[in-house]
Every structure is written in C-alpha cells, then in structure tokens.
A = this chain, B = another copy of it.
C-alpha cells in the first residue's frame, strides 16, 4: 500500500491545517497532473501526501478494473501507459468518496461531463474546498457562454481558479520542460498555493489575475489549431501558418475582451496565450485531425477522423468552434471573427466528392 498520511491535523499556529488534494478525472492530462501533484504533496509539509484520483471505472481487456490496476501498479495503463504516477496516488471509482475529505479539488475531465459531475457533487464537498479547473471548453446556453470555472463556482459554491498553458500531456509526462499559467480572480494566496502544488523543475507555473482570459485562451486556441491544421494539410507554408495563428490570437483576444471587459492584453503573452497556441498548432490533436481533414479534401467527416485517430480522446476544436459560432451569431458578431466563423463553416460543410477543402 502507498505511504499515505491520513493523520488528523491539529490546527494550531505551529501546525497550520494541511491541504488534501483530490483530482477529479484520470484521462491523459489528469494522469499527468496527478504525477506532478503527487511529486509535490510528498515533499511539501503543507499538503497531505496522499492524492486521491477519481477514476471513471472501466473494465480492461484483461478483465481487471482500471482502478485496481492503477492502485497496484501506480500506472494508468489505459491513458498514460509507461509512466509511474507516484505511489501516493490512490485511484477511487467512487466520486463522492474521492472528494469527501479534500479541500483542494482539481477538475480535469472532458468538458461535456462537468455539468453532470457538478450536479452529483452538490452538498458533497467540504465547506472550505478550493477548486481549480484544467478543463478546456465551455458550456453554451441560450443566455450565452458559461465558462467551466463559473459552472464549478456556481454549482458547488466554491472559488475556482484555472490552470492552462503550453501543455501537451505526454511531453510533461516524460519531464520535458513546460510552462503553465494559473488564472485567479481575487485571492492571490490561493493562486500561490496552486502554483506550489503544480510547480516542478520541469513545469514552471506562474499566476495571472485574469481567470476568464486564461480560461478562454485554453478554449479558443483549439479553433485556431483547426485552422492551422488546414494550412498544414494544404501545404500552404510557414508564412501562412504564422499569419493564421496571429489572426487567430487576435480573434481570441478580441472575443475574450468582448465577453469579459476585465480580460487583460498581457494574459495573451503568458503560457496560456501565445505559447499554448504555438504548441497546439504545432503538435496537438486538433491540428492533426484538421490536417487529415484537409488532406482528404473534406471528404471524411471530423467524427470519422476522430474515431480513427484519437483512440477515444475527444476533439475539442470542432465543438468549441460550433459553440463559439452560436455565440457570435446570437450577438451579431460573425463578421468581426472571420477565422472562427470560417473554421466552423468548413467543419460542418456536407462532404462533396469534388471538393479540395
């Protein structure tokens, strides 16, 4: 069994309360996050060593339960094979049990599951819980877009930061140097606590007081990555790719500022902004599928390509483009955002046998 520390903490000035972390989600990025976090909680005295990770239970081809295999091997054999998560990570298939004792909740699931997860967690978390979202995407409702951090805050009555950045999970898993940005609303002290929880020598995290700007970067860049993939698939060259990325960054900034007047220009110079855009447009899955889409002249749908190329992972750019398109249309802003609009239009055109993207 893991060397976990479940001692009750005595809350005196000499012994301030320890923070207890639970990760809600255990996909590729969630597993890497658990590795980062577990390497810190075991070293830093202000955190409990044990990190709980809620795992959506699956039965593996071997007949074993995924959680059992993670707890026996310290490895998420399905979503992050070959990487040790740390012996202090404990997989738990029971969502309510996983969050019960935690006062630092890390949300990292596909964004479409968050509304359901929040509903299940109402009244089940600690009063002093803090949350952070690593989720890219937003829920679009009739009344407009709702950021995932807002959904979490509103549904669970907690303060919710976000962590975004140039973070291809498999590269961080093998400890290649990366940066990330924590976006926070008002409480700098909590932001610093999250920075401490995630930072390692190969993962440099900084804090930025602009939660909406940071979160929108993480969401909107996936649309730009689709456009960058088209450029790659059509062999349009580096100048065009850079131009598309620049125009994309400009639309990201413009839309973020229209949606939230508090968004700062400087956020787009952080890892969550220009760096994440670069990483995603160089190597991410949205770019890759869009490249294949363009190479096939739009004759194969994104659903098809996603099923073939992503082994069960979800392509966020296409759905984000659709959601953003709805917002732009509802607000009468379509013409102000030609790149976002065109990406959605290309993604949803019916296939034509004679078309070259």
- Interface of A with B (CB < 8 Å)? 166-168, 171-172, 176-179, 204, 236-243, 245-246, 249-250, 253, 265-266, 268-271, 274-276, 278-279, 282-283
Contacts and interface: CB of A to CB of B under 8 A. Distances in A.
Nearest to A167: B239
A245 B236 CA distance: 22
B246 A271 contact: yes
Contacts of A253: 269
Contacts of A279: 238-239, 241-242
B237 A171 contact: yes
Given A178-B239, A242-B275, A246-B270, 16 more contacts: A166-B238, A168-B239, A171-B237, A171-B238, A171-B240, A176-B239, A177-B239, A204-B243, A237-B283, A242-B274, A242-B278, A242-B282, A246-B274, A249-B274, A268-B269, A282-B282
Contacts of A249: 269, 274
Nearest to A265: B265
A328 to B, nearest CB: 21
Contact of A245 (B239, B243, B275, B283): B275
A178 B271 contact: no
A243 B245 CA distance: 16
Contact of A243 (B166, B236, B240, B268): B166
B239 A172 contact: yes
